[in-house]
Amino acid sequence: MTKIDTLFTQLRSSGKKALMPFVTAGDPDLQFTADVIRELDRCGCTLCEVGIPYSDPIADGAVIQASYTRALGHKIKVKDILAMLAKVSAEVHMPLVTMISFAIIHRYGLERFVHDAKAAGVSGAIVPDLLVEEAEKFSAVCRAADFNLIQLVTPTTPRERAIRIANSSSGFLYYVSIAGITGERTQLPADLSENVGWLKSQTKLPICIGFGISQPEHVKLLKPVADGLIVGSAIVRRVAEAATRERREVLKDVGQYVTSLLAALE
């Protein structure tokens, strides 16, 4: 069992749910990314999703795209991100996963990426642009290394295909709450809970919901049906303020925000 598998087993046995914040690696720099991860862990977040900057993200909204652009402007490299994660993973309790394009993994080398990510203390990878029809080889590499491959199911994914995606995934399933891109929203789809409920009836994998979740009210609404909730743009937007504000104040703001979400999970 991976660290993620163990975590969700413990959460389910205690009736608790996960909160998974998202941060962009290298925005504004890798040192501050590490500081944010430590702060999220200190506040009690359950997992952390670390975005590997990519020039052509397929599902990220304006806030995360802008953070990727800023990070890439610093000539950030995957090896530098993994070096940072190797240090911080030894200092935090929560598992770390990467959100990474398969184009990057393919260029890096499938076996090499999994080996290096695992050596850096990373427990799995969310790969949004890996088609289930093309996932078999990478899925096998991940299984052999006890490394979780986390894939996405969307509201428009045909049900037969959703089951196929679940069968080739491990760790947890990432359920995309809306048909669209990431970003903070005031309302979530009315049929979201019903759709997730059906998916839960088809797989034993934990299901974490992302896209659009930004308010304690969203957390309260979805915690009965979700195993975990993923929050990205609202955190990335706050971290971006480090360019113009004292970093200590930004960390405090991020901490207070995630604390309000964690309180809603209780």
The separation between the first and the last C-alpha atoms of the chain, rounded to the nearest angstrom, is 27
Residue with tokens 């290096």: 116
Q: Helices 78-89 and 30-43 sit at what angle, rounded to 10 degrees?
A: 30
Side-chain-side CA neighbours of 8 within 13 Å: the count stands at 20
Whether 136 sits among the annotated catalytic residues: the reply is: no
**Options 5, 39, 49, 227, the catalytic residue:** 49
Q: Could you confirm whether 60 is annotated as catalytic?
A: yes
Q: Which of 35, 41, 60, 227 is catalytic?
A: 60
Backbone angles phi, psi at 2, to 5 degrees: -80, 175
Catalytic annotation, residues:
49, 60
